[in-house]
Structure 1
Amino acid sequence: MERGVPAIDIQDFPGQYQKLREACEVWGCFRIVNHKVPLELMSEMKAVVRSLLDLPFEIKKRNTDVIAGSGYMAPSEKNPLYEALGLYDMGSPQAVQAFCSQLDASPHQREVIENYAQGIHELVMDIAAKMAESMGLDSESFMEWPCQFRINKYNFTPETVGSSGVQIHTDSGFLTILQDDENVGGLEVMDSSGSFIPVDPWTGTFLVNLGDMATVWSNGRWCNVRHRVQCKEATIRVSIATFLLGPKEEVVEAPQKFVDSEKPRLFAPITYEDYRKLRFSTKLQAGEALALVHATS
């Protein structure tokens, strides 16, 4: 088990509510253990991901954006070691089928992707509900929020050892659930002292990161964790991330329970789409854009 980052037993509720709440407030991230996603499915999905990311560029570029940044991301000047394929709204069977068709997925690959998408979507909704319940709130708050799916590949070489695979950032959405590479480390999260803590691989578990929307929704009670990926060894690193973003049209704002005379409203109501555009336009990718949506007194 890695140093520091809490582990939450998803089968041990209500016993884990206090630990979950503290993890959200102090760390902004935690491990999920004893979940219901089969280990065999996780392994099969990792194999499918590797094969999709090894496809020719001409096929990968068919994976087009639904919202900005949701489709194929080729290596760039800023992140030359990184590429990704993406799927917007993985809770939609039609969107999952369209993603598979873009990449000429085989019947077996489609079956694995569909089963994984369904299992992860259910897990994401369960985690978000338990987070709300840990604060004494309705667990139905997030049921209609879309999820974005992204499969990541880091092309690490001997020359890149010690460099960054992805720069320091927070996630813009509410939470991210990550199946990291069980063999290759490199993910680091920032703790409350500002130090980076390595998050070592832990087979069969998922890492959950809280993003900027979680900070807005919780009225600043929850931490949007800064994280990065460092190149530790010259090899290919693959990870699978699912982002619970924010509602498609409604604004995100703190429930009234989180607002009182001691803790006035910190953030103006904002849609996820407007916030995402704000991050893109300002290039403030590590949570600093939240300062631009502070509530006026």
Structure 2
Amino acid sequence: MASTKDEVEEERPPLETDGVPVIDLDQSPEVFIPQIASACATYGFFQVINHGIDACLVDAFRRQMQLFFSLPYDTKIKCKRREDNSRGYFDDELTKQRRDWKEALDVGVPGSRDWSLDDDDERNACLDGMNQFVPVDVLPDFRPTTVFYFNACTILSDQLAKYMQQGLEHTLDALKTKSGGDDIDVSLKKSHTSYLRMNYYPPCPPNHDDSVKEEKEEMAPLGISPHTDAGFLTVLVQDDDTHSLQVKMKGDEWVTVEPIPGALTINTGDMAMIWSNGLFKAPLHRVLTSPHQTRYSAPFFYNPGYDASISPFVPPTKDIPTFASKYHSCVWGYFRAVRFAGDLTDLGVEIQISNFLIESSEDDKSGSTNHHIAKQAEFMKQVEFHEPFSVEKYRSLLES
């Protein structure tokens, strides 16, 4: 007897490329939602096909990104980001207190949520600052194409976050428990503070080639040093013919994420790991340099509202140690501010979600708090999320 469509789909496992799953969103949700949950829990990385973002839009956006980075330096630097505005052009970012081999431009959702306003309209101010685009007479199609792509990534991220929540609920149900956390939709879809980063990685000169002796690998220049993404999830478009993105797997093995033509690469971030109480992984990843090839990529960082307090999804009963909350609540605005400050200047050890771990039941009962928990509380008393963040203004609260 012929199989039904659902029966056929249930028999079809996700594709894999070097261990990173490729998930088809054209299947029924009953099939791909468990696949997404498994990928988030096992790898923290996966690729999606049939994702709903038109290929023509992706190609047009890629072309505009390339045109921007081909502009003279004197033109790009007029959009330079500053200590009081995280949005704009830069070529001097630090990752893990180490300078990246790249140029980049950050564009984020306006504080007004209204893209029709002028970018420097005071209603667009927010913690991350204001967008800085090159003038229309320089690149007429750059801003509108970027905005169209930004909004398409937002819609896809909304859907992926919903699938992740449904997948987590399915996982918890399989573990015979119920979640007691907030609906992630409250912190994301209604008040997200996402931003899109356009990256250009020029060839690394031969004398800086990263093909050095193994014992000196840590000294080789990298496009981006090993890191986790701070937000909830990332939607990445990257060149099909340049395989530079690597994720660290179990056993400390670095595995290259080979892009599938037409696919988008997804990875979970720090906030998803806290929210899932550690069930979903925030994977460590890096970008290699090349002595010969250029590389373009654009990660869309889907982030919670600035004032969102991200807490673990845990069962209401606290008497099951396996499911006890592993993390203190983390306010996204504080975490984001400290991470941005660390991108510009060395403030000591970079903030990590491990700083929000509940160390022990004694720690929880006593009410004692660690360094970042105390500073987060003070930060929330002083911050104005509708005003651009200033590293200098909040330096005393951000330094380690």
- TM-score, reference length from structure 1: 0.89
| 1:293 corresponding residue in structure 2 | 356
Distance 2:92 2:80 in 1: 15
Distance 2:117 2:265 in 1: 23
| 1:18 corresponding residue in structure 2 | 34
Distance 2:83 2:24 in 1: 35
Residue 242 of structure 2 corresponds to residue 184 of structure 1:
yes
| 1:118 corresponding residue in structure 2 | 151
Alignment partner of 2:61 out of 45, 48, 67: 45
| 1:251 corresponding residue in structure 2 | 309
| 2:323 corresponding residue in structure 1 | 263
Question: SS at the partner of 1:103?
Answer: coil
Unaligned 5+ runs, structure 2: 1-15, 120-129, 170-178, 211-219, 365-400
Judge conservation of contact 1:178–1:207 (CA < 8 Å) in 2.
yes
Distance 1:270 1:198 in 2: 31
Distance 1:258 1:34 in 2: 37
| 2:209 corresponding residue in structure 1 | 161
Alignment partner of 1:129 out of 159, 162, 184: 162
The residue type equivalent to 2:252 in the other structure is G
Distance 1:161 1:178 in 2: 25
Q: Deviations over 1:47-101 (max 9, x none)?
A: 1001112223333232535976443221458335211000122793428962886
Give the drift of 1:291: 2.0
Query: Where do residues 48-59 of structure 1 align in structure 2 (5 Å cutoff)?
Result: 48-59=64-75
Judge conservation of contact 1:90–1:147 (CA < 8 Å) in 2.
no
Query: Where do residues 21-170 of structure 1 align in structure 2 (5 Å cutoff)?
Result: 21-61=37-77, 62-64=79-81, 69-75=86-92, 78-79=98-99, 81-89=101-109, 92-94=113-115, 98=119, 102-105=133-136, 106-136=139-169, 138=183, 140-141=185-186, 142-143=188-189, 144-159=191-206, 160-162=208-210, 163=220, 164-170=222-228
Shift in alpha-carbon separation, 1:60–1:259, aligned structure 2, 3 A: farther
Judge conservation of contact 1:267–1:293 (CA < 8 Å) in 2.
yes
Greater CA drift, 39-48 or 258-267: 258-267
Give the drift of 1:14: 2.1
| 1:218 corresponding residue in structure 2 | 276
Judge conservation of contact 1:10–1:33 (CA < 8 Å) in 2.
yes
Distance 2:109 2:100 in 1: 27
| 2:255 corresponding residue in structure 1 | 197
Unaligned 5+ runs, structure 1: none
Give the drift of 1:19: 1.2
Residue 300 of structure 2 corresponds to residue 242 of structure 1:
yes
Give the drift of 1:11: 2.2
Q: CA RMSD in A?
A: 2.6
| 1:283 corresponding residue in structure 2 | 349
| 2:18 corresponding residue in structure 1 | 3
Question: SS at the partner of 1:151?
Answer: strand
The residue type equivalent to 2:278 in the other structure is G
Distance 1:248 1:277 in 2: 10
Question: SS at the partner of 1:94?
Answer: coil
Give the drift of 1:257: 3.7
Judge conservation of contact 2:277–2:314 (CA < 8 Å) in 1.
no
Shift in alpha-carbon separation, 1:291–1:150, aligned structure 2, 3 A: same
Shift in alpha-carbon separation, 1:104–1:168, aligned structure 2, 3 A: same
Question: SS at the partner of 2:201?
Answer: strand
Distance 2:116 2:99 in 1: 27
Shift in alpha-carbon separation, 1:6–1:117, aligned structure 2, 3 A: same
Residue 266 of structure 2 corresponds to residue 208 of structure 1:
yes
Shift in alpha-carbon separation, 1:76–1:149, aligned structure 2, 3 A: closer
Shift in alpha-carbon separation, 1:110–1:275, aligned structure 2, 3 A: closer
Distance 1:139 1:266 in 2: 18
Give the drift of 1:148: 0.9
Judge conservation of contact 2:231–2:302 (CA < 8 Å) in 1.
yes
Give the drift of 1:245: 1.8
Radius of gyration: which is bigger?
Answer: 2
- Where is the strand percentage greater, Structure 1 or Structure 2? 1
Shift in alpha-carbon separation, 1:171–1:100, aligned structure 2, 3 A: closer
Judge conservation of contact 1:63–1:103 (CA < 8 Å) in 2.
no
Question: SS at the partner of 1:110?
Answer: helix
